[in-house]
């Protein structure tokens, strides 16, 4: 079976489908990590840094990135569990990396849970490595 995947910028009409996908892909979101709120507050994000992957018109993956002029960050990379291990996560990351490079970004960072060995394996397959930094956070 040849899967027809396409990647394009998020548009307003994708809002409900993206929330539905994120509820599936990022279950048990904490109060400080609330996908619906993040999507509302992050609508200002340049469209080229918020991409969706579609298959037969259905949204099956997302990636969001930010760039402050020095560092790029990746958030909300997620692929529907039904279609994982088919290169969709890789395509989303490569596309967003290319866009960040086009904006002048040379350092890209992301955070993963230390307990998620498979997510680490995924990013390692794309050349990411653990830098020995420790992440600190505060809920405001
Ligand atoms: C991480 C995630 C986005 C990967 O998406 P995907 O479309 O399945 O990834 P790909 O098919 O492009 O995988 C590329 C390579 O990464 C590695 N990889 C991916 N998933 C893996 C797993 N579960 N175990 C081990 N290696 C894995 C493999 O080397 C794979 O290549 P292969 O299939 O030829 O062996 C997806 O598993 C996901 O949405 N996870 C839940 C959400 C999440 O944790 N997101 C990251 C938070 S920052």
**Residue pLDDT, tens place only, 66-105:** 999 999 999 999 999 999 999 999 999 999 999 999 999 9
- Please say whether the dihedral angle defined by the alpha carbons of residues 16, 19, 25 and 27, taken in this order, is positive or negative: negative
pLDDT at 32: 73
The token duo for 84 is: 């994982």
- Ligand 1 lining (C-beta closer than 6 Å): 25, 77-79, 84-90, 110, 112, 116, 118-119, 121-122, 125
* pLDDT for res 28: 76
Q: What are residue 72's DSSP bridge partners?
A: 67, 108
Whole-prediction pTM: 0.94
Whole-number Å distance, alpha carbon 140 to ligand 1 midpoint, is 31
| Tokens matching residue 106 | 């040379």
Pocket test for ligand 1, best of 59, 63, 82, 84 (most atoms within 8 A of CB): 84
The pLDDT assigned to 111 comes to: 94
What are 10-44's pLDDT values in tens digits? 998 999 999 999 999 998 776 677 777 777 777 67
pLDDT at 43: 65
């Amino acid at each position: 079976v040849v899967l027809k995947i396409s990647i394009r910028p998020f548009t307003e009409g994708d809002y409900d489908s993206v929330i539905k996908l994120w509820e599936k892909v990022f279950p048990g979101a904490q109060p400080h990590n609330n996908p619906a709120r993040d999507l509302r507050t992050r609508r200002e994000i340049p469209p080229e840094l918020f991409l969706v992957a579609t298959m037969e018109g259905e949204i099956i993956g997302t990636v969001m990135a930010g760039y402050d002029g020095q560092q790029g960050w990746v958030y909300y990379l997620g692929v529907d569990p039904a279609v994982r291990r088919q290169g969709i996560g890789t395509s989303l990351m490569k596309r967003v990396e290319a866009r960040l490079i086009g904006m002048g970004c040379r350092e890209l960072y992301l955070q993963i849970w230390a307990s998620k060995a498979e997510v680490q394996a995924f990013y390692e397959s794309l050349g990411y490595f653990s830098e020995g930094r420790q992440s600190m956070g505060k809920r405001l």
